[in-house]
Structure 1
């Protein structure tokens, strides 16, 4: 009997899934926009026959979110490796500009970084294919 009462419970509007009063909206959000955007939002809500709140909820819940600048972890890792090599190369260039002679260890480090940059470059090329 209880299930039958739930089926006969009135709904807020045709698209809502919850009965009237079951999920009273009490939270207020602040949205910042310019005057033109505000007018456009109100006009679209009016054209849809919805309040601005209902329109924004429907738009937010039904839209597909496309993340901006969301890079895959592999790209972030490669970027970090390139940044590390760039920092090390910058230090070596500073030594060179000060006419400080490289030690054998620094020369080995330089060639190691060059090889790592080649590998990262190849990984980036392979990733973009």
Structure 2
């Protein structure tokens, strides 16, 4: 049951990312900065969902693992959607980029936990 909860939490974060990303892509089509706004909107949507659902860091392990495996398989198969210059970099550099992207994908939950920690700390100091 615990692992099912982890998968469901990862799914919610994934859906938040994708829905915000694609909505901004759709409504902002033609604008020069639509790609940047899409990524930022997806990130904030994932942070909001993780906050509202109180998703713990360990619950996003499946998302991190699945994203990294998808990145790796997509890149070695010649795909360019996640990283365009994979052919011109070494395998180690590409894997490092995959790790950095994976951390970025799950970072909204880290952000939420950092905000919770600071908020709790401030509340304790005020008492």
Q: TM-score, normalised by structure 1?
A: 0.25
- The structure with the greater share of residues assigned to helix is 2
* Larger relative contact order (CA 8 Å, sep ≥ 6): 2
